[in-house]
Amino acid sequence: MDTELSATVVVFTFFPRSYLLRTANKCKRFLQEFYSEDENGKKVFKYGAQLVALAHREKVSVYVELDDVAEEDPELVESICENAKRYTGLFADAVHELLPEYKEKDVRLFAQLILYVLMMEQRGRDPLYFKPPSTTKPKVVRDVRADSIGNLVTVRGIVTRATEVKPMMAVATYTCDQCGAETYQPIQSPSFMPLIMCPSQECVTNKSGGRLYLQTRGSKFVKFQEIRIQEHSDQVPVGNIPRSMSIYARGENTRLAQPGDHVAITGVFLPLLRTGFKQAVQGLLSETYMEAHSITLMNKTEDDELGNEDLTEEELRSITEEGFYEKLAGSIAPEIYGHEDVKKALLLLLVGGVEQAPKGMKIRGNINICLMGDPGVAKSQLLSYIDRLAPRSQYTTGRGSSGVGLTAAVMRDPMTGEMTLEGGALVLADQGICCIDEFDKMADADRTAIHEVMEQQTISIAKAGIMTSLNARCSILAAANPAYGRYNPRKSIEQNIQLPAALLSRFDLLWLIQDKPDADADLRLAQHITYVHQHCRQPPTHFTPIDMKLMRRFLAVCKKRQPVVPEALADYITAAYVEMRKEARVSKDTTFTSARTLLSILRLSTALARLRMMESVEKEDVNEAMRLMEMSKDSLQADKSSTTRAQRPADVIFSLVRELSTEGVAGRGGAGGVVRMAEAEQRCVSRGFTPAQFQEALEEYEELNVWQVNQGRSRITFV
């Protein structure tokens, strides 16, 4: 990229006089004639109104929207953007010339104003600011280079420093000690050379040599503030230090931003000219700054990183093609092998369910998930991946955060001595995801602080005279180790998890990720790892993981959907729920099947519908939601049987068949729990069991009343 450009030349291009005049007239005409039609078809002279307000000193500055200019004269917009400083002057001149025409009422009534207005008319222009065309894209600080000098640019960044607001002299007023005449000196640059000799007619003709004295009271000052911004962390290439930029804000633009704020600033990028001795020693360097035209505060969530534009057709197609659900799930932490179901659950957590608020009762839509498991099963990696993927998220560890740190703290402001609320991780993650690692290591007292958040999605505070309720509409993704470091199969689940039921029931899904031996999985795992070591990259899978940015944008689109549960499905869900309750009673389930479970299923199904970009929930969504529930429960229970299960062929066959039945639910949407005999047999034989063994297992389990085989011996139905 050629950065060398005669940039200074651009700033100081000298227009031919005729051209200048023409342009000045253009500006004037625009200000006078631009109108938009309101809903009644009446012409509204937007800038006329502004000028009237200005003439009556009701406003102090004029804003010119370049979108409006574009309607009249697109070329003019281009030249304005390229040479903004000059056009600011041209427009200001035009405003100044037009002002007297717009004076509708007599301002002289206000005695004090007279003086002021007179003064204003004599010297100095009112500030005029451009609003950039809405089509311009904000630039990265890094990309504002020498060729942008003189241009109107928009940059985004985080404010790292803001000076005090100081008065800056705009017009210096002098009085002469001999004749008493007032002399005005407009000041453009940061420093100026004071006038000494009186230039008035009287003094010059008399040669009285009148001295001028600066009158602070008569001079005009503008507010001035310097701001330093730094580019966002995500705009910085890897291995680079974020760049920063100085912004000069004057008048109304001051005091808009504080350190730490995310801002979008539009302004003119200019070289800083020094005068006098400094200019000499400064030598070759010229500093640059940006003269702010507008400063807008931004919310981090509405950040541009998502890309404001909608997904293109092509991108949409690439995502929503066949098997997109698996593909999306697989794109979550592709470097972590396996755990498909967990990843699916995390995908749903990212999308979130639909929040319902019937008659003021709020039912959260956010999905909470708790991952448990042996050390070293990549829980933390999953968490940190989600933290990076989610547009808004907070990552904390249980050991490192107290209840106060998670919720909110009341602090005494060191400057003013006032009490202020400082939001904790959960508040900061509002509308996002809060990842809490080492959840089990948290002190009980601190853990209870998040009970409220997990269900009510608010944080109520009553301390130090501050009583309030803060929004904390976040999903919680927690990771915990089993109580004894490793999952101990000899202990019961409660003993292993050691989290109170009140908390556990608030998680929609609980996963126990266990390091279970399985030759097949082991081989795939080994292949995966060796491949990574061999080729230093991910093994080729049947899909390429979706790019993180694309994924974020897709999720943002998904979140806009608000699918509803159709009437017809209500019965189905209730029936399924009743069934689950029954099952839970029978099998002495250690997890909790309660009304919350029902809500969880609804949340998961709406999230699935969102993912499909549909407006209503379908039966498959509910089935998949229930499958996930079931799998999450399975993950907790399977190992219980593993102690008793001595890997008898019959047991293995049973689990194979069960696997087949759940697959049926996921894939073909068939009724859950029914497996075709032929299919089951084929599966078992392919795993190295003899048909005789299969039949044996079939009978054995039929006796146990786990499943039923129909008369024609063609179907296995799970009870």
In this structure, are residues 459 and 427 in contact, taking their beta carbons and an 8 Å threshold?
A: yes
User: Which of residues 327 and 364 has its CB atom nearest to other proteins in the complex?
Assistant: 327
Interaction between residue 208 and other proteins (CB under 8 A): no
Interaction between residue 169 and other proteins (CB under 8 A): yes
Angle ∠(614,617,619) on CA atoms, nearest 5: 125
How many amino acids of this chain bind other proteins (CB under 8 A)?
85
Residues 107-166 within binding reach of other proteins (CB under 8 A) = 145-146, 149, 158, 160-161, 163, 166
User: Which of residues 44 and 297 has its CB atom nearest to other proteins in the complex?
Assistant: 297
CA separation for the pair 470, 457 (Å, rounded):
9
Name which position in 78, 302, 335, 579 contacts other proteins (CB under 8 A): 335
User: Which of residues 100 and 376 has its CB atom nearest to other proteins in the complex?
Assistant: 376
Residues 7-66 within binding reach of other proteins (CB under 8 A) = 7-9, 12
Interaction between residue 544 and other proteins (CB under 8 A): no
Q: How far is CA 179 from CA 184, 295, 593, 646, in A?
A: 15, 45, 95, 113
Q: DSSP labels for 121-166?
A: HHS----EEEE--TTPPPBPGGG--GGGTTSEEEEEEEEEEEPPPE
- In this chain, which stretch among 380-388, 412-420, 424-432, 685-693 interacts with other proteins, using CB under 8 A? 380-388
Q: How far is the CB of 173 from other proteins (least distance, A)?
A: 14
User: Which of residues 337 and 592 has its CB atom nearest to other proteins in the complex?
Assistant: 337
Interaction between residue 299 and other proteins (CB under 8 A): no
Q: How far is the CB of 335 from other proteins (least distance, A)?
A: 5
Residues 676-715 within binding reach of other proteins (CB under 8 A) = none
AA letter at 623: N
Name which position in 16, 358, 360, 376 contacts other proteins (CB under 8 A): 376
In the three-class reduction of DSSP (H, G, I as helix; E, B as strand; rest coil), residue 686 is classed as helix
Residues 229-258 within binding reach of other proteins (CB under 8 A) = 230, 233, 236-246, 248
In this structure, are residues 601 and 573 in contact, taking their beta carbons and an 8 Å threshold?
A: yes
In the three-class reduction of DSSP (H, G, I as helix; E, B as strand; rest coil), residue 546 is classed as coil
Maximal CA-CA distance, the chain = 129
Q: Are strands 62-65 and 458-463 parallel, antiparallel or unpaired?
A: unpaired
Name which position in 43, 412, 441, 516 contacts other proteins (CB under 8 A): 516
Q: DSSP labels for 614-665?
A: -SB--HHHHHHHHHHHHHHHHHHHHHHHHHH----HHHHHHHHHHHHHHHHH
User: Which of residues 7 and 329 has its CB atom nearest to other proteins in the complex?
Assistant: 7
CA separation for the pair 47, 130 (Å, rounded):
13
Q: How far is the CB of 397 from other proteins (least distance, A)?
A: 9
Buried b (16+ CB within 10 A) or exposed e, 649-658: bbbbbbebbb
Residues 486-505 within binding reach of other proteins (CB under 8 A) = none
Q: How far is CA 348 from CA 8, 243, 509, in A?
A: 54, 37, 11
User: Which of residues 112 and 277 has its CB atom nearest to other proteins in the complex?
Assistant: 277
- In this chain, which stretch among 64-72, 308-316, 509-517, 595-603 interacts with other proteins, using CB under 8 A? 509-517
Q: Are strands 707-709 and 715-718 parallel, antiparallel or unpaired?
A: antiparallel
User: Which of residues 296 and 530 has its CB atom nearest to other proteins in the complex?
Assistant: 530
Q: How far is the CB of 539 from other proteins (least distance, A)?
A: 11
CA separation for the pair 183, 206 (Å, rounded):
17
Name which position in 258, 301, 381, 468 contacts other proteins (CB under 8 A): 381
Name which position in 92, 113, 140, 168 contacts other proteins (CB under 8 A): 168
CA separation for the pair 267, 256 (Å, rounded):
15
Q: How far is the CB of 538 from other proteins (least distance, A)?
A: 6
Q: What are phi and psi of 307, to 5 degrees?
A: 85, 120
User: Which of residues 386 and 503 has its CB atom nearest to other proteins in the complex?
Assistant: 386
- In this chain, which stretch among 59-67, 85-93, 224-232, 662-670 interacts with other proteins, using CB under 8 A? 224-232
User: Which of residues 71 and 287 has its CB atom nearest to other proteins in the complex?
Assistant: 287
Q: How far is the CB of 112 from other proteins (least distance, A)?
A: 27
User: Which of residues 417 and 517 has its CB atom nearest to other proteins in the complex?
Assistant: 517
Residues 186-205 within binding reach of other proteins (CB under 8 A) = 190-192
Interaction between residue 6 and other proteins (CB under 8 A): yes
Name which position in 32, 384, 662, 693 contacts other proteins (CB under 8 A): 384
Residues 390-449 within binding reach of other proteins (CB under 8 A) = 400
- In this chain, which stretch among 16-24, 107-115, 513-521, 603-611 interacts with other proteins, using CB under 8 A? 513-521
CA-nearest of 148, 175, 397, 169 to 289 is 148
User: Which of residues 277 and 309 has its CB atom nearest to other proteins in the complex?
Assistant: 277
User: Which of residues 284 and 445 has its CB atom nearest to other proteins in the complex?
Assistant: 284
- In this chain, which stretch among 103-111, 282-290, 582-590, 606-614 interacts with other proteins, using CB under 8 A? 282-290
DSSP state of 356: B
Q: Is the dihedral of CA 312, 314, 320, 324 positive or negative?
A: negative
In this structure, are residues 392 and 350 in contact, taking their beta carbons and an 8 Å threshold?
A: no
List strand residue ranges (DSSP E) for 28-151, in order: 36-37, 43-44, 62-65, 128-131
Interaction between residue 70 and other proteins (CB under 8 A): no
Helix axes 567-586, 595-611, angle to 10 degrees: 130
In sequence order, which residues have a C-beta less than 8 Å from that of residue 267 and are 6 or more positions away?
Answer: 152, 153, 247, 290, 291, 292, 293, 294
Interaction between residue 385 and other proteins (CB under 8 A): yes
- In this chain, which stretch among 77-85, 167-175, 311-319, 361-369 interacts with other proteins, using CB under 8 A? 167-175
Interaction between residue 272 and other proteins (CB under 8 A): yes
User: Which of residues 358 and 376 has its CB atom nearest to other proteins in the complex?
Assistant: 376
Residues 562-581 within binding reach of other proteins (CB under 8 A) = none
CA separation for the pair 528, 539 (Å, rounded):
7
CA separation for the pair 496, 490 (Å, rounded):
9
β-bridge partners, 333 = none
User: Which of residues 63 and 337 has its CB atom nearest to other proteins in the complex?
Assistant: 337
Name which position in 20, 114, 197, 526 contacts other proteins (CB under 8 A): 526
Name which position in 501, 529, 568, 578 contacts other proteins (CB under 8 A): 529
In sequence order, which residues have a C-beta less than 8 Å from that of residue 79 and are 6 or more positions away?
Answer: 23, 87
Interaction between residue 305 and other proteins (CB under 8 A): no
